[in-house]
Structure 1
Amino acid sequence: MSTSAIELASLLCSRLCHDMLSPVGALSNGLELLSDEKDPEMRQRCFELLDQSARISADKLKFFRLAFGAAGGFGDMVPVSEARALVDALLANNARIVVNWSLGSDMLPKPAIKTLLNFALIGIEALPRGGTLDIAAELRADQLTSGTSEIVVRAAGPRIAFDRDIGRALEGALPEGDLSSRTAPAAMIQQLAHSLGGRLQYALGDDALVLGAVLPGV
C-alpha cells in the first residue's frame, strides 16, 4: 500500500471531523434550546448538557491532537501518563468499558505514544457492547539504539466488532483504493512503524482482539 501524505492527511481530517460532529452538534443544539427555554430548572439542565458536550469535545481534540497530529514533533519522549489520561478521558462517559493499565516505563518515544493511542481507539471501537480494554507498554533497553518500544492492547467483550480492512491496513496490505477515513489511522501507524523498521500485528478471536507493536528506537 502506497499512500501520499496529502491523501492520508485528508482522510485523517475527515475522520477527525466525523468524530467531532456529535459533541459539537450537541453544543449547537443545547445553545438553541437555551435561547428558547424560560424555565429555570430546564435552563440549568441545558447548562449541564452544554458543559458535558464541551468537556467531551475538548477531550476528543486533545486525544486526536496527539494520536493523529504532530504535537511537539516526532522525536520527543512523552510521559506515558499523558497518553493514559487521554484514553481515560475519552472513556469517562462510557461505563461499559473498563480499562486496565500495565506500564513498564514512565516515558515512551512519540511514535510509540501515537501507536498506543491509535491501538486504544481501535480497541474501544471493537467494544460496542462493552468489555475490558487492557493496555500494556514498555521501553526495553537496547545497546544499539535508544530502546525498543513494545505495546500490546487487548479488547475483550461480547461480539467483537472489527473491520478486516483495518487489519489489512495495519499489515500494510490494504489496496490504496480501499483506504478510507475509517482505516486511515491504522494506515498511518503502519507507515510510521515501517519507517522505524518496526512491525504491527493483530489477532482476532470470537471475544477478543489483540493488537501488538514492536518499534525500534533511532
Structure 2
Amino acid sequence: MNNTTSVDLAALLCSRLCHDLLSPVGALNNGLELLADEKDPEMRARCMELLEQSARTSADKLKFFRLAYGAAGGFGEYVEVAEPKALIEALVADKKRIEVQWALADAKLPKNAVKVLLNFAHIAIDALVRGGTLDIGAEMRDGASEIVVRAAGPKIAFDDTIGKALEGRLPESELSSRTAPAHMIALLAEQAGGGLQYKRSDEALVLGAVLPQPEGMIG
C-alpha cells in the first residue's frame, strides 16, 4: 500500500468512527441542553440517567474502536480474550434482541487476530437488523489463529461490497467509510499470509479467518 492510499484508508476509518460516535455524543449534547433548562427534580434525574447512558455508550465505542482500528499501544503482541469479549458485550448491551454465544479456546490471541475478531463482530452486529444470535469462536491451532463469527436471524442485512472488501476483491477506488474496516482487516490477513472469507444466506452470515502467526510468536 502506498502512502497516499494509507492516508485515504486512515481518513475513511476516521469517518466511520465519527459516524458511529455521532449518535451517543449528540445525545450527550441534547441532554446537557435539556438539563440546563429543566427545573423539575424528577425530569432532571431522568436527564442525568440519559446523560450517564450516552457517556457510557460513547466510552464503550471509543474503547472498541481503539483496539479494532487503532495501534492499541497499551497492549503487547498478545491480548487477553477477556478484553475483546467485554468490548463486544458492551456493544450489544443495548441491543436486547441479540444474544451472544462464545467459544474462545485460548486465554490470549495475537493483537491482529483480535482486530479481525472485533471487526467481524461489528459487521455481524450490523447485519442483525431484526436481532438474532451472534456466535463467536476463536482458537490458535497449528501455528495460526482461526476465527469464526456467525450471525443468524430472521433478516440478514449485508452489503456485498463489504464481502468483496473482506476477500480483497474491492478496488481501492471504490472504498468508502462503510467498507474501509473490511479492507483494513483484509490487508492484515494478507500481510500475515492468511485470508478471510464469508458466506451469506437469507438467515445467516458466516465470517471466517485464518491468520498464521509469525515464527517468533509461535509458542
TM-score, shorter chain, exceeding 0.5: yes
User: Which SS does the other structure have where 2:130 is aligned?
Assistant: coil
User: Which SS does the other structure have where 1:4 is aligned?
Assistant: helix
Deviation at 1:158, TM superposition (A): 1.1
Give the TM-score of the pair, scaled to structure 1.
Answer: 0.95
**Residue equivalent to 2:67:** 66
Counterparts of 2:146 and 2:11, CA distance in 1: 29
Q: What amino acid does structure 1 have at the position aligned with 2:205?
A: L
Q: What amino acid does structure 1 have at the position aligned with 2:94?
A: N
4+ aligned runs moved over 3 Å, structure 1: none
Structure 2 gap ranges (5+): 215-219
Counterparts of 2:151 and 2:121, CA distance in 1: 9
User: Which SS does the other structure have where 1:154 is aligned?
Assistant: strand
**Residue equivalent to 1:81:** 82
Q: What amino acid does structure 1 have at the position aligned with 2:152?
A: A
User: Which SS does the other structure have where 1:92 is aligned?
Assistant: coil
**Residue equivalent to 2:162:** 166
Q: What amino acid does structure 2 have at the position aligned with 1:173?
A: R
Asked whether the 8 Å contact 1:201–1:213 carries over to 2, the reply is: yes
**Residue equivalent to 2:209:** 213
Deviations 1:41-93 (A, max 9, x none): 00000000000000000000000000000112786100011000000011111
Q: Does 1:47 align with 2:30?
A: no
Equivalent residue in structure 2 for 1:199, among 191, 195, 209: 195
User: Which SS does the other structure have where 1:78 is aligned?
Assistant: strand
Asked whether the 8 Å contact 1:160–1:206 carries over to 2, the reply is: yes
Counterparts of 2:213 and 2:10, CA distance in 1: 24
Asked whether the 8 Å contact 1:170–1:200 carries over to 2, the reply is: yes
**Residue equivalent to 1:184:** 180
**Residue equivalent to 1:24:** 25
Identity of aligned residues (%): 70
Counterparts of 1:75 and 1:5, CA distance in 2: 23
**Residue equivalent to 2:128:** 127
Deviation at 1:175, TM superposition (A): 1.4
Counterparts of 1:159 and 1:120, CA distance in 2: 17
Q: What amino acid does structure 2 have at the position aligned with 1:111?
A: N
Deviations 1:175-201 (A, max 9, x none): 122100000000000000000000100
**Residue equivalent to 2:8:** 7
**Residue equivalent to 2:110:** 109
Counterparts of 1:86 and 1:79, CA distance in 2: 12
Structure 1 gap ranges (5+): none
Aligned length: 213
Asked whether the 8 Å contact 1:74–1:111 carries over to 2, the reply is: no
Q: Does 1:153 align with 2:144?
A: no
